[in-house]
Amino acid sequence: LYGAGARRFVMLDLPDLGRTPIVLQNTTYIPERPQENDVARRIELAHRLTQLTLYHNRLLVEAIDQLRAELPASKILLVDTFKFFQQLNGVDETAVPQPREYGYDIAELEETLEHEDMRLRLQQPCYRGTYLGTLDKSKICPEQDKVIFWDTVHPTTLTHCWQAWKVGSE
């Protein structure tokens, strides 16, 4: 793109994968240390996915810094999707506005994992069909315009709209 004349770029880091519905759906993750039960296993998976996301995002910052040095005539904007999704999920309790003010109400799909002193609030996926799609309306939650995640990792249309707004505002 730079060779074709582009000089302004927008990059987005990853949202916290440990906060996606895949944590609730996963049945194959095997932790290094055996867990007492399935809830503990899922909380461990969420923690590992969060660490993986942070690692990826740190490497992305390093790569962008390198690109900025190699392409000094360019402007590269990095949008902090990780932090923004923390706000949308209600993880950042100091954030203004809160999820409800963005239009979200995940109460019907919310699931809380609790084990010992650990507590993790997650959203079940809105869509429960196959990746090829379905005409079965029972596979789609009734409030699809008020939830964050469409399936195990992909955002809903509303979430994409808010992400576009975030990019535009930065």
Q: Are 57 and 13 in contact (CB under 8 A)?
A: yes
Among residues 12, 132, 142, which one has the least CA distance to residue 77?
12
* Spatial distance between the Cα atoms of 75 and 58, rounded to a whole number of angstroms: 19
pLDDT at 79 over 90: yes
Query: Please, which pLDDT band fits residue 21 given cuts at 50, 70 and 90?
Result: very high
Q: What is the DSSP letter of 108?
A: T
Averaged confidence pLDDT in the chain: 91
**Predicted local distance difference test score (pLDDT) of residue 43:** 93
Q: What is the pLDDT of residues 92-111, one digit of tens each?
A: 777 777 788 889 988 888 99
| Beta strands 75-79; 118-123: pairing state | unpaired
